[in-house]
Amino acid sequence: MRSRNIIGEIADTAGFRREEEKRVFKTRLLSGIILVAVLLALGILGGDVLLAGLCIVSEVGLFELYRVCKIEKSGLGIIGYVLVVAYYFGIKLAGMGISREVVIFSLAMALLIAVMAVYVFTYPKYHASQVMAAFFGFFYVAVMLSCIYLTRMLVGGNYYIWLIFLCSWGCDTCAYCVGMLLGKHKMAPILSPKKSVEGAVGGVVGAALLTVLYGFVFQKNMGLTVSEIWVMAAISAAGALVSMVGDLAASAIKRNYEIKDYGKLIPGHGGILDRFDSVIFTAPLIFFLVCYL
């Protein structure tokens, strides 16, 4: 009788886990569809709508990062939030003749001076690592993500912008599928035990193939030759490699601070940084490679 009860409990537990996994999957799928729909709308509209959307995303992402470092409501945090708005406004001005490099350099110096002033005049309220995090977060989140807008503003940018997401989220999806089927060799066993070398290779190849498909579908619209489509695939492959670095970098920060997710804004996915960790790295790379290749 006791053995039957134990077997029944095990069966109930397994059933509960399956139901929970189904619930989590449905939540992730629904929120993912909504997220993609919003991104499609922003990417297609472009211009000030995309710029404002990225500013909001950057502010939320910066808040999540600052919360990890316990400066989200402090003077250091407020300076970071203000500079993000100033930076995106500066990008808008850069489109009106002001050098983008001057905007970035000027705001970077202003941020450094401001956070160091808060640090020294409130000493010892903040730790040096918090000051460095305040400065780092501005570039890691706001400047890197702004490359989505900069890519959109290029000639043909209404098509090239999607390479950023093809090589980041496309790589992530393909890596997951290949890793589940063939994964044997751990890529980063301590940092991310579930990621495999086979999955990584599948992610890079998958991102390149998705880009080839994308290129042939929109070949006439983009005015591409076959060789240019393969160059675009190579760009996505490079972006896929970098996207994995971005993913692991975000995981490393979370492990250092012993947290599971950066936030709960996107149900089933976590926070902005949990979903955009790879995009943060691929956006600037795609922007520069499209500019020069």
Residue 198 resides in a domain: yes
| Per-residue confidence (pLDDT) for residue 97, from 0 to 100 | 63
Residue 14 resides in a domain: no
pLDDT digits (tens, 9 = 90+) for 178-189: 888 887 888 888
Residue 31 resides in a domain: no
| Per-residue confidence (pLDDT) for residue 99, from 0 to 100 | 75
Domain match, 184 and 259 both: yes
pLDDT digits (tens, 9 = 90+) for 118-149: 999 999 999 999 999 999 999 999 999 999 99
Residue range 150-158: mean pLDDT, rounded = 92
Residue where one domain finishes, among candidates 136, 153, 170: 153
Domain match, 147 and 94 both: yes
Domain match, 142 and 163 both: no
User: Average per-residue pLDDT in the chain?
Assistant: 87
Domain match, 143 and 177 both: no
3-class secondary structure per residue, the chain: CHHHHHHHHHHHHHHHHHHHHHHHHHHHHHHHHHHHHHHHHHHHHCHHHHHHHHHHHHHHHHHHHHHHCCCCCCHHHHHHHHHHHHHHHHHHHHCCCCCHHHHHHHHHHHHHHHHHHHHHHCCCCCCHHHHHHHHHHHHHHHHHHHHHHHHHCCCCHHHHHHHHHHCCHHHHHHHHHHHHHHCCCEEECCCEEEEEHHHHHHHHHHHHHHHHHHHHHCHHHHCCCHHHHHHHHHHHHHHHHHHHHHHHHHHHHHHHCCCCCCCCCECCCECHHHHHHHHHHHHHHHHHHHHHC
Domain match, 277 and 186 both: yes
| Per-residue confidence (pLDDT) for residue 159, from 0 to 100 | 93
85: pLDDT confidence band, cut at 50, 70 and 90? very high
Domain match, 210 and 148 both: no
Question: Which of 288, 273, 279 is closest to 72 using CA atoms?
Answer: 273
- The percent of residues in the chain predicted with pLDDT above 90, rounded, is 57
More confident residue, 246 or 191: 246
96: pLDDT confidence band, cut at 50, 70 and 90? low
Question: Is the pLDDT reported for residue 15 higher than 60?
Answer: no
Domain match, 167 and 274 both: yes
| Per-residue confidence (pLDDT) for residue 101, from 0 to 100 | 78
Domain match, 89 and 161 both: no
Residue ranges making up the domain that contains 290: 156-293
| Per-residue confidence (pLDDT) for residue 172, from 0 to 100 | 87
> In degrees, to the nearest 5, what angle opens at C-alpha 152 toward C-alphas 147 and 158?
150
For 52, 141, 150, 167, the CA distances from 46, given in Å and listed in that order, are 10, 19, 10, 20
191: pLDDT confidence band, cut at 50, 70 and 90? confident
Question: How many folded domains does the chain comprise?
Answer: 2
Domain match, 251 and 186 both: yes
Domain match, 189 and 111 both: no
| Per-residue confidence (pLDDT) for residue 278, from 0 to 100 | 92
pLDDT digits (tens, 9 = 90+) for 210-260: 999 999 999 999 999 999 999 999 999 999 999 999 999 998 999 899 888
Domain match, 160 and 266 both: yes
pTM, two decimal places = 0.89
The token pair that represents 109 in the structure block:
């110096």
Residue where one domain finishes, among candidates 153, 179, 198: 153
Domain match, 55 and 123 both: yes
176: pLDDT confidence band, cut at 50, 70 and 90? confident
163: pLDDT confidence band, cut at 50, 70 and 90? very high
Residue 25 resides in a domain: no
Residue where one domain finishes, among candidates 153, 178, 196: 153
30: pLDDT confidence band, cut at 50, 70 and 90? confident
